[in-house]
Amino acid sequence: MPHLTPTGTGLSATGADRLGFGVPGYAHPLLAPVEWAELTRPGTPLHWAVLNVADGPGTRPDPHCLEAAGRVRNAFRGAARSASSGGGGRMTGRGVLGHLDMRHGARPFGELVSDAQRFVDWYRVDGFLLDRCPTDRADLAAVRRTTATLEAVLDHADGGHLVLGHGSHPDPGYARIADQLVTFSGSWADYRWSQAAEWTADHPPERFVHLVHGVPRTHLDEAMRIARWQGAGTIFFTDRTGQSSPFAALPGYWDEIVSRIGPGVSE
């Protein structure tokens, strides 16, 4: 696998200065209360967490999701206030993102915007993960139209934070229309032999996300080396497996991986 050295000098897409977590979507807070509580633990190097109520925002506000999202958002704001006043600990990143499924480009534009507006109105999300985003150049104009509209929907958050959930390396043009790209989402068996596209070296690590399931505890160091070699600034590794939702729960080694990355503290 190539060791890519970024040459870009752009600002951090996450607002963070170190490797940290992007949580692609825990289960409903009633089913995963421990997971949601862990996101607010002081010092957790969290860049963002995805809220997926019911394959989107659902049909009405969910009080349990409102509470969970509010706690995470308040933890980010409290940590930011602590940092600005000279306090030590802080969480770094962009907060809570709403889950929008693009269905590889088959989702109607109006449905996406409607779901996005409900996420903002009900949960005051800080941005969006556009899951199953297309990767081809032919779809770039349509995705650009969507991201530009979502930035307007997120006017309360100064445009918010947009993550394109490709799951593999897309056409390089996608890097110009969102804050971050998920350039790997899949199993450890595939990840350990993966390679980064050469064009990613033109951008800083903060622009790229890797989500990997089935990572054994004994291979955590290797997985983290791969992420750094390939220039990913945001990660989520888990030992969970399964076709449905391997990212829905905490990995069995959560405390260990948090300690290996290091606390989200100012230096």
Please give the Cα distance from 84 to 76 (Å, whole number).
12
| pLDDT at residue 154 is higher than 80 | yes
In angstroms, how far is the first alpha carbon of the chain from the final one?
32
Which of 5-19, 63-77, 240-254 shows the lowest mean pLDDT across its residues? Answer: 5-19
* 139-150 pLDDT, tens digit each: 999 999 999 999
* 3-state secondary structure at position 86: coil
Per-residue confidence at 263, pLDDT binned at 50, 70, 90?
low
- Using a pLDDT cut of 70, give the percent of the chain over it: 85
Section 43-61 average pLDDT: 94
Handedness of CA 3, 8, 13, 19 (dihedral sign): positive
In the predicted model, is pLDDT for residue 109 greater than 60?
yes
Mean residue pLDDT of the chain comes to: 88
Measured distance CA(92)–CA(241) in Å, rounded? 28
Band of the pLDDT at 159, cuts 50, 70, 90? Answer: confident
- Residues 101 and 104: their CA atoms lie apart, in Å, by 8
pLDDT tens for 188-207 read: 999 999 999 999 999 999 99
CA-nearest of 70, 24, 65, 80 to 48 is 24
pLDDT, position 13: 53
